[in-house]
């Protein structure tokens, strides 16, 4: 059940990211053609007001198809239209004229040539595969040559559309953290708000019988305040402790229970979380922005350490992300939402890396084109994309190897 919750949460984060691109492109006149959660083949799809909404069978993310992400070029002919010349040689001349117009950058003439190709395709008896390929190529070129194509828009509009995806994830992080801080961001109390469910063995708190709602009033017979509880437990060095709690108005002795050392920080813990009072909305919002910024700096430092090799252990793949959020879901809603907020921020920062085809790469090229006052050649985009894809795959492989090691 926790894995299903983790996967659903990750899907929601991707959906919010793509929704940022979707609504920004709609607002700025670049009407999207598709909005998918997951990648094709489609499991479910429905066209509404000219936009195809769907769920893909490959649950590795999602996408919004914005028309004309790249300036059309002769290479687009080879992708879809060149193959049908073998089935219909009569199309060779019109397709070659279309290629020449694209190479010359005469987009008005290219639209005319494309209209001719489209008309001739309907008259030819192509195979099903050829017909689909031709239609896909014609649709893509129609979008790229249309007035609402992404590449035609002003650089600032392109930057806004692309930045809206990571921006939506950052905003979600702040909203989630604000909500959490409004419920549990204030002064800590002595009331247990959360019991950690150990995996695979039960946590000391589970074994001892501690319950959510218990209020700790003494440890080994000595009264403790809320601020002293953690220090008393961590100072035990694993020696048995007897906790006195108030449960439903009655005093109950729990234990003896032995705290266990956390392998990550070496602190002894029993496995429970104490309740904290909430902050006022304004204070919670300010704190959430501060926390988001501090975590952003920490993640940035980790990414910087990847170059030297010391930060590679901090990289995780979708496997580790799902595992981590699944473990958090077992510990309670608060832990799960905390982890979800951090994953949302991580998705935003990863996408802002200045690598094509990531969002940050598109933003960087839009800035470059705005400064230069003219477009970067299509070939440059393609070459940089090859490097970017290779680096992204390298990060994925490193993260997957880390996750497999952790699972082992």
Q: pTM (2 decimals)?
A: 0.78
Tell me the two tokens of residue 373.
């006052």
pLDDT per residue of the chain (408 residues) written in tens, 0 to 9 = 667 777 778 888 988 999 999 999 999 999 999 999 888 888 999 999 889 999 988 776 788 999 998 888 888 887 778 778 888 888 889 999 999 998 888 889 999 999 999 998 888 888 888 888 888 889 999 999 999 999 999 999 999 999 999 999 999 999 999 998 988 777 788 888 888 877 667 888 888 888 988 999 999 989 999 888 988 998 888 899 999 999 989 999 988 999 888 876 778 888 888 888 778 899 999 999 999 999 898 888 877 766 666 666 767 766 667 667 767 666 677 778 888 999 999 899 989 989 888 999 999 999 999 898 888 877 888 888 888 888 888 877 777 776 676 655
**Overall size of the chain counted in residues:** 408
d(CA 173, CA 319): 21
d(CA 97, CA 192): 75
- The pLDDT of residue 265 is 72
Q: What count of other Cβ atoms lies within 10 Å of the Cβ of residue 301?
A: 11
Q: Which residues lie below 8 Å from residue 16, measured CB to CB, with a gap of 6+? A: 168, 169, 172, 344
Q: Are 218 and 232 in contact (CB under 8 A)?
A: no
What is the torsional sign of CA 172, 178, 182, 187?
A: positive
Tell me the two tokens of residue 366.
């839009």
- Is the bond preceding 256 in cis, omega lying within 30 degrees of 0? yes
Q: Which residues lie below 8 Å from residue 129, measured CB to CB, with a gap of 6+? A: none
Q: Are 127 and 99 in contact (CB under 8 A)?
A: no
d(CA 289, CA 297): 12
Q: Are 186 and 277 in contact (CB under 8 A)?
A: yes
- The pLDDT of residue 29 is 92
| 195 beta partners | 272
CATH numbers and ranges of domains, the chain: 75-145 (no CATH), 189-276 (2.30.42.10), 281-407 (no CATH)
- The pLDDT of residue 310 is 61
- The pLDDT of residue 1 is 63
Residue with the two structure tokens 């437990």? 233
- The pLDDT of residue 317 is 63
Q: Are 232 and 239 in contact (CB under 8 A)?
A: no
Q: Are 319 and 400 in contact (CB under 8 A)?
A: yes
Tell me the two tokens of residue 210.
């501690």
């Amino acid at each position: 059940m926790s894995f299903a919750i983790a996967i659903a949460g990750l899907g929601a984060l991707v959906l919010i990211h793509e929704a940022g691109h979707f609504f920004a492109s709609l607002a700025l006149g670049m009407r999207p053609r598709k909005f998918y959660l997951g990648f094709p083949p489609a499991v479910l799809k429905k066209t509404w007001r000219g936009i195809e909404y769907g769920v893909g069978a490959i649950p590795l993310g999602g996408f919004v198809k914005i028309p004309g992400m790249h300036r059309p070029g002769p290479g687009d002919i080879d992708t879809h239209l060149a193959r049908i010349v073998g089935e219909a040689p009569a199309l060779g001349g019109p397709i070659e004229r279309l290629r020449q117009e694209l190479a010359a950058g005469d987009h008005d003439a290219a639209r005319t040539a494309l209209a001719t190709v489209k008309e001739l395709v309907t008259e030819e008896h192509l195979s099903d595969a050829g017909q689909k390929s031709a239609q896909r190529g014609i649709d893509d070129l129609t979008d790229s040559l249309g007035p609402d194509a992404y590449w035609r828009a002003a650089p600032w509009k392109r930057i806004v559309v692309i930045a809206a995806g990571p921006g939506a994830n950052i905003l979600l992080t702040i909203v989630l953290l604000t909500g959490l801080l409004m419920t549990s961001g204030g002064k800590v109390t002595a009331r247990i708000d959360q019991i950690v469910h150990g995996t695979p063995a039960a946590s000391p708190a589970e074994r001892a019988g501690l319950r959510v709602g218990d209020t700790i009033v003494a440890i080994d017979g000595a009264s403790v305040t809320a601020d002293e509880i953690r220090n008393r437990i961590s100072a035990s060095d694993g020696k048995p402790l007897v906790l006195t709690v108030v449960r439903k108005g009655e005093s109950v002795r729990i234990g003896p229970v032995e705290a266990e050392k956390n392998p990550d920080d070496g602190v002894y813990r029993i496995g429970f979380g104490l309740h904290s009072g909430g902050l006022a909305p304004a204070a919670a919002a300010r704190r959430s922005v501060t926390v988001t910024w501090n975590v952003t700096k920490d993640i940035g430092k980790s990414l910087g350490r990847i170059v030297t090799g010391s930060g590679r252990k901090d990289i995780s793949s979708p496997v580790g992300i799902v595992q981590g959020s699944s473990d958090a879901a077992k510990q309670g809603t608060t832990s799960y939402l905390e982890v979800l907020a951090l994953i949302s921020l991580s998705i935003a920062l990863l996408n802002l890396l200045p690598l094509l085809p990531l969002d940050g790469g598109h933003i960087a090229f839009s800035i470059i084109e705005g400064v230069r006052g003219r477009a970067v050649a299509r070939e440059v985009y393609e070459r940089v994309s090859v490097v970017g894809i290779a680096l992204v795959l390298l990060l994925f492989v490193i993260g997957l190897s880390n996750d497999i090691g952790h699972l082992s």
